[in-house]
Each structure stands twice: as C-alpha cells, then as structure tokens.
Amino acid sequence: NKSLNIGLIVRNTDEEEDVFATVAVPEVLPRLVRLPTGADKQEFILLEDVIKLHMDILFNGYDIVDMKAYRITRNADLDIDEEGAEDLLKEIEESLKMRKWGNVVRIEAEEGISHELLQMITQDGEDEPLGGVYEIAGPIDYTFLFKLIQLVKKPELLYPSHQPHQPLQDGEDVFTWIRHQDRLLHHPFDSFDTVVQLVRAAAQDQDVLAIKQTLYRVSGNSPIIEALIAAAENKKQVTVLVELKARFDEENNIHWAKRLEQAGCHVIYGLIGLKTHLKTLLIVRREEDGIRRYVHLGTGNYNDVTAKLYTDMGLLTVNPQIGSDASVLFNMLSGFTVPSSLNQLSVAPLFLRHKLEQYIEYEIEAARKGRKAHIILKMNALVDEKLISLLYKASKASVRIELIVRGVCCLRPGVPNMSENITVRSIVGRFLEHTRIFYFEHGGKNKVLLSSADWMPRNLDRRVEAMFPIEHSELKQQIIQILQCYLSDQAKSRFLQPDGTYRKKAAKGMQKMHAQEQLLKRAGDRAEKSMSPATLPFQPRTHSTDEQAMNEVAATSQF
C-alpha cells in the first residue's frame, strides 16, 4: 500500500513471451541521489530513475518492452467490531496488519503508461481501483521534497525563520499566571511550549492531585507523553484517553498507550462507536482556598510538531463552571455517565448540533425583527446538510454570513433567493488553517466560541467533540480582530462562486493584505514589547520556526 514500484513488461528472447514484472523502489534508500557536479551547481536524480537506467542488469536475457513507475493506494479503513472485541488494542493491532491488503482505491502511474502494462498491474480488472487511474506528469509521491530542503541550502527560497513568542515568562509560575485571568493561545503565533510547560509543572507540583487528558494525534517524541509518564511516576492520578482509531496514527497511539500503561497511567480508549476528537486537559490541584481545576481546551491536537505548522487556538482557564464540565466530561469518557446538561461546554454527539442550531435561529429571529444579525464561521470543512439548510434559511432572512472554510464546502454562496447574503473564502497559506471559530452577533453580546469540530455529520454525530465559549472581554475582542484580519485577506483568499469554482479577487491600487503575515507581524511586535523591562503584564500572542518543524514532520508525522 502506497509503496513506489516500477512495473515492466519483459519478453523472453527465446520464447517471445511477454511477462509482467515489478520492482519495488527500496524505501531504506534516499529517494534523492546527488550527482557529482561542480561546487557551483547541485543536481539530483530520483532513485527510481537510477534503477530504470540499470534495469537490464536485473533482467538479463530479457527484452524490456515497457517500464513505468506506479503506486497503489488501498482502502485504509479498519473493520473493527468494537462491541465484540474483548481487547480493543489487540483488535486494532491485528486489523493494522491487514491494512496493506485493503481494496484498491487508486492507482497512480507515470504519464504515458501503456494499456497493456496497466492491465497487467490491475490483474485484468480484478483489482480495478474504485477511484480510478491517475497518470502523473512528473514524479509520483512528492513527499521527497521535504528532504530536498535539507539537502539544498537555499534560504532565499524558504520562508524567513522566526521564533515563537513565549507567553509564559521565565521564572513565572504557570498556575499563578492562569489563575490571574483566562489565557488565549493562538498557535503558531504563541508557542505550544506553554502547554507542555503546564503539563510538566503539574507532573512535578506536590499540590497537583490528578491530571486527565485526551490524546488524538501526538508527535513521535512527544514531550506531553513524557510529562504524563513523569506525573504517574510521581504518584499523581493520571488518566489518559488515547484514541486508538485516529486514522493513520493507530500504530503510534498504540505504542504510546502501552508506554503510559507501563508507567502506571490509567489509559482508556473512549466510547464504543465514537471517536474521541476533543482536545481537553484537566489538572486538579489542592490550594489554600480549596480544590481548583485548571483546564486547557483546544481546537487542535496536543502535538508539538504540527503546532508549529497549523493555526490553532487554546483556552487556559480556572473558570469553575468549565472545570466542573471537564470533570463531568471525563467521567462520561471513563465510565457510563451520560450528562443531562453542562454549564458551558457543548459536547457532541449530545448537545453540540442543537446548540449551533439555536445560535443560528437566534440570528434569524433578530433579522426578522429588524435587528443586526451577523454570523462569522471559520472551520476546515462545511458538509452537514441540516446546518447548511439552516444557513440558507438565515440568508433568506437577511442575516449577514461570512464563512472561512479552508477545505470542502458543500454550501453554494451568492445563489439568488437562497444564499445572496453568504460569502465563502478559503485561505491556504504558509500555515495550515485549522482553527474552528464561531461568531454570532447575538443581540450585541458578540458570542465567540471555539471548537474541535468541523460542521460535518461525522464530527457532530459520530465523534466526541467540544465547543466552548470565550467570555473574557479582552480575549473575545482579540479573536474578533483575528477574524477581521482573515476577512481582510487579499493575498491567499480564494472566493467560492455560485457555480462551485474558486476565484481570487484583485486588490486595486494597493498592496495585498496577507492575513498570516499580518498576524506574524503583530506577534513579533508583541514579542518585542514583552522583552522590554518597562512593559505591562503580558497579553498573549506570537510564534514560529518553520524549517525545523517541516523537517520534523517529514521525519515523524503524517498530515
């Protein structure tokens, strides 16, 4: 599955019979081979091309009739009977062994492949790909380019490197910092190290009684995992929900689940039939005035590598209602408790869909009464039919709707008498846009919510997700300004048209506004101020280090 191969038709010179052969391109060797050239020039050849040039050595006595590279992609879904499985971890381990033999869903082949060779590859139609055959004009599988930036030192071709701002100052106590007020982290503009520092501090703090955390995707050498292991070794009560069914991270998560169990952590695998996709950390600490709960809620994974490449947001808070909700949530995930209601969190598949419907209906009613009604939604994908229909209904009621949807969007904006008041843009830039931010005018109260969930049936109905409000006025205003920054972007925005195509808008007479670069600049300004001894107490923002992160992703992670 997904291995690169060279398919051949070879002919026996004595018997004049055509035979199919395949040669696997070794994964243990570098895909890029440097050629001996002068010091002023760097040239490379792909490993598969080197093999082709010497293929006659492998097939001595045969004529090579045809030869092309190809790659087969197989269905990676795991067929797991969760209810019947006595040990879910072992069940998934066994299923992973069968992944490489799943049904063929796609074949990528070098451009110009002959019909005869393609037929031989697909075994006369027995393995005909459900998704079709794609002829590739160029190399197959471009992931080798991650290595190229390491081999060729051309800094002028890369984004300028930058360092993330550290919201937590050296020597500052993380618990005091969070207790002072709610904190917003905007990655990669704020360093993810702040989250790591929190878990590390909890692992060593003698007053911390318990740590509970959900893990969906983590890096290959996760500092979060190491901190949780240290906490268990320090006799803290550590409960970790590791989602074993996170696609393509199953093997990595199984490894970490075993490590955590060996260290004495209580490891759970979630609810039957549901993936646990929410990002939640709960720390229970004994303090002078009683037990206090410290909570981190995020839109993205606890992954220190992708946190340098994806835009995500996280809230750090000691809000008692959110702390109570987090406790109830972990009771639900680790037992059989089904909450009838929560204070501030909206959790899928129980309440999240209904809550979103309520917010949209509120805007519809406000518009019908002649009041200001406005919705801004930022997410990765908008697919859910029921919510799309409700947005159409809101548009017909004259609610102004601005959508920032990076990926799949099944809503059509600008259709007369249906979606005239809706705009949709996709922003694809240096960082992968991953935040889920929902803004509702809500009668002038400006409801701002963050979530782990996209608006898809799988997220709202078949996953455990969380949506949480931002109530601190400064943080709320900060997020609104960030949304306005994205809505002002002219450099990387593509606008969805009524016919389903995307187009750029030309910026007339001025330099194009680039949202991510603007956010980086603001972050840099804040970083400089925080380094000055005469500044006011820190207000969050900032980030980066890209080249290093790209290298780490190429080595240890899958997108």
Q: Rounded to whole angstroms, how far apart are CA atoms 253 and 197?
A: 22
Torsion of CA 147, 148, 150, 154, to 10 degrees: -160
* Chain centroid to CA 288: 39
Distance CA 149, CA 297 (A): 35
- Positive or negative, the CA dihedral 331, 332, 336, 337 is positive
Max intra-chain CA distance, the chain: 91
User: What does the block give as tokens for 270?
Assistant: 């979630």
Q: Which SS3 state, helix, strand or coil, does residue 104 take?
A: strand
β-sheet bridge partners, residue 73: 106
Look up residue 536 and give its two tokens. 């006011």
The answer to whether 525 and 443 have CB atoms below 8 angstroms apart is: no
Is 277 noted as a catalytic residue in this protein? yes
Amino acid at site 203:
A
CA angle 180, 185, 191 (to 5 degrees): 110
- CA 21 to CA 7: how far, in whole Å? 6
Token code pair at residue 288: 């002078």
The rounded distance, in Å, linking the Cα atoms of 412 and 416 is 11
Distance CA 456, CA 255 (A): 30
- 276-286 burial, b at 16+ Cβ within 10 Å, e below that, comes to bbbbbbbbbbe
Residue of 35, 29, 22, 104 lying closest to 69 (CA atoms): 22
Instruction: Measure the CA–CA gap between 316 and 174, rounded to whole angstroms.
Output: 10
Given 187, 277, 434, 543, the catalytic residue: 277
Q: Which residues are catalytic?
A: 277
